[in-house]
Amino acid sequence: MTFIDIGHIDDIPLRGARCVKTPNGKIAVFRTAENEVFAIEDHCPHKSGPLSQGIVHGKAVTCPLHNWVISLETGQALGADEGAVKTIPLRNIDGQLSIRLEQPLMVAAE
């Protein structure tokens, strides 16, 4: 498994997200207010809402459809909700971001 470059941290607004299309689906890359960066699958485990369009707070994102809160660190739904999304290994070297996919394939940033 190799890391694939996906852009620079400055391409993602603070407390925001960008999507990366892969052959296995969309990956949401989040930047917290503390400049931490996380990558998870871009669908809520509840009703597949687009997590990349949710509200980032701390190290979590709230789904825009039904307010499920998902940990950016673990992919687990927080609170009384059950479910999880896959986390994607992410590397940040001097602001240059890359993700590790199970299969080394081309990706396109959105």
* CATH, range 3-109: 2.102.10.10
The per-residue pLDDT string of the chain (110 residues; one tens digit each, 9 = 90 and over) reads 689 999 999 999 999 999 999 888 999 999 999 999 999 999 999 999 999 999 999 999 999 999 999 999 999 999 877 899 999 999 999 999 999 987 644 555 55
Radius of gyration of the chain (CA): 13
Domain layout of the chain by residue ranges: 3-109
| Amino acid letter for position 25 | G
CA atoms within 13 A on the CB side of 83: 13
Distance of CA 91 to the CA centre of its chain: 13
Nearest C-alpha neighbor of 85 from the set 70, 102, 106: 70
What are the backbone dihedrals phi and psi of residue 87, each rounded to the nearest 5 degrees, phi first? Answer: -90, 150
